[in-house]
C-alpha cells in the first residue's frame, strides 16, 4: 500500500502512568491536530496504534494477566483489562475525529488469537479496506485469547509486528515522551540494529520507572527489529516533531532497523 505509515502513540505519552485512568488530553489533542495537519499537506495512509498507559496496566498488574490463566480470578482480570484498554481507545479515536480525521477503533481482543504472547491469527481484510478508503484504523495494546496460556496481553509493538508482515508499511514512527533511546550516559542512541543491540541493551529500561507489563523499552526495541522496516522513536512531548516526521523528516530520534 502506497505511503503507508504506522504510528504508535506510547502509553506513557498519552496518559499519566503515575495516576490510574488519567489521559493527557492536551497532549492527545495536539498530536491529533499534528496528524491532521500532516495529512492535509501530504498524501499519507495511516494506521495508528497506541499503548494503554495508566488505563489497563493497573488491573493487568493486579491480576497478573500477562502470565495467562493462573487462578480463578484470571478471567475476571481478562475482562477488566479489556474494558480498561478500550476506554482509552475511545478517547484516542474521538480525538482524531474531532481533529478532522475519519478514524475507527480496531479491537484486537475480538479478532486475534495468540500463542504464547505472539499473534498467530487475525482477519485483517477490514483493516486493509479501511486503509484503502482513507480511514485510519486504530488498534491498541489489549488482552488476547492465547492457545498456550489461556489469555495474554499483546502489546502495540506485537500488533504492529504482525500487521507489518501483511500490510508492508514504508516506515513506523513510535512516539514517546523522550527523544529516543538513551545510552548509559544519557545520550540519544541515533541508530540501533541487531549488530549493536547487545551493547546498548543495559540502557534499555522502562520509559519512566513505572511498572510496564508489556516489557518497557527492551520490548519496544526487540519488536522494532522484528518489524522489518525502518522504525524511529521520537519525542511526542515536543510540539511539531510528529508532524515533521510524518512529512518525511528523519533523524529526529532513534532509528531502529534490522
Give domain limits for the chain. 4-256
**pLDDT for the residue 193:** 85
Asked if 29 contacts 68 with a C-beta cutoff of 8 angstroms, the reply is no
State the SS3 of the chain.
CCCEEEEEECHHHHECCCCCCCECHHHHHHHHHHHHHHHHHCCCEEEEEECCCCCHHHHHHHHCHHHCCCCCCHHHHHHHHHHHHHHHHHHHHHHHHHCCCCEEECCHHHCEEEECCEEEEECCHHHHHHHHCCCEEECECEEEEECCCEEEEECHHHHHHHHHHHHCCCEEEEEECCCCCECCCCCECCEECCCCHHHHHHHCCCCCCCCCCCCHHHHHHHHHHHHCCEEEEEECCCCCHHHHHHCCCCCCCEEECC
Mean pLDDT along residues 47-71: 96
- Percent of the chain exceeding pLDDT 90 equals 77
Mean pLDDT along residues 12-27: 95
**pLDDT for the residue 17:** 87
Q: Which residues contact 153 (CB under 8 A, 6 or more apart)?
A: 56, 60, 65, 66, 81, 117, 141, 142, 143, 144, 213, 214
**pLDDT for the residue 209:** 43
Residue 51: is its pLDDT beyond 90? yes
Could you read off the pLDDT of 76-98 as tens digits, one per residue? 999 999 999 999 999 999 999 99
Which residue has better confidence, 188 or 122?
Answer: 122
**pLDDT for the residue 206:** 43
Residue 105: is its pLDDT beyond 50? yes
| pLDDT class of 183 with cuts at 50, 70, 90 | confident
Could you read off the pLDDT of 191-203 as tens digits, one per residue? 998 888 777 776 6
**pLDDT for the residue 215:** 54
Architecture of domain 4-256: 3-Layer(aba) Sandwich (3.40)
**pLDDT for the residue 79:** 98
| pLDDT class of 185 with cuts at 50, 70, 90 | confident
The grid cell for 198 is 547487545
Amino acid at each position: 500500500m502506497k505511503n503507508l505509515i504506522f504510528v504508535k502513540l506510547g502509553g506513557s505519552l498519552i496518559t499519566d502512568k503515575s495516576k490510574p485512568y488519567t489521559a493527557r488530553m492536551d497532549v492527545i489533542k495536539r498530536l491529533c491536530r499534528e496528524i491532521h495537519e500532516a495529512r492535509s499537506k501530504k498524501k499519507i495512509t495511516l494506521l495508528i496504534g497506541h499503548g494503554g498507559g495508566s488505563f489497563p496496566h493497573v488491573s493487568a498488574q493486579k491480576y497478573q494477566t500477562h502470565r495467562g490463566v493462573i487462578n480463578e480470578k484470571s478471567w475476571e482480570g481478562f475482562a477488566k483489562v479489556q474494558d480498561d484498554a478500550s476506554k482509552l481507545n475511545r478517547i484516542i479515536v474521538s480525538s482524531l475525529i474531532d481533529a478532522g480525521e475519519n478514524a475507527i477503533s480496531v479491537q484486537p481482543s475480538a479478532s486475534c488469537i495468540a500463542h504464547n504472547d505472539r499473534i498467530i491469527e487475525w482477519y485483517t481484510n477490514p483493516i486493509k479496506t479501511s486503509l484503502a478508503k482513507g480511514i485510519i484504523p486504530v488498534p491498541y495494546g489489549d488482552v488476547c485469547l492465547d492457545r498456550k496460556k489461556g489469555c495474554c496481553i499483546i502489546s502495540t509493538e506485537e500488533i504492529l509486528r504482525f500487521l507489518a508482515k501483511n500490510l508492508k508499511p514504508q516506515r513506523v514512527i513510535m512516539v514517546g515522551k523522550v527523544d529516543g533511546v538513551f545510552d548509559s550516559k544519557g545520550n540519544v542512541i541515533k541508530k540501533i540494529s541487531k549488530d549493536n543491540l547487545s551493547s546498548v541493551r543495559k540502557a534499555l529500561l522502562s520509559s519512566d520507572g513505572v511498572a510496564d507489563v508489556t516489557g518497557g523499552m527492551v520490548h519496544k526495541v526487540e519488536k522494532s527489529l522484528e518489524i522489518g522496516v525502518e522504525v524511529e522513536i521520537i519525542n511526542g512531548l515536543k510540539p511539531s516533531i510528529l508532524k515533521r516526521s510524518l512529512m518525511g523528516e528523519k533523524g529526529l530520534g532513534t532509528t531502529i532497523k534490522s
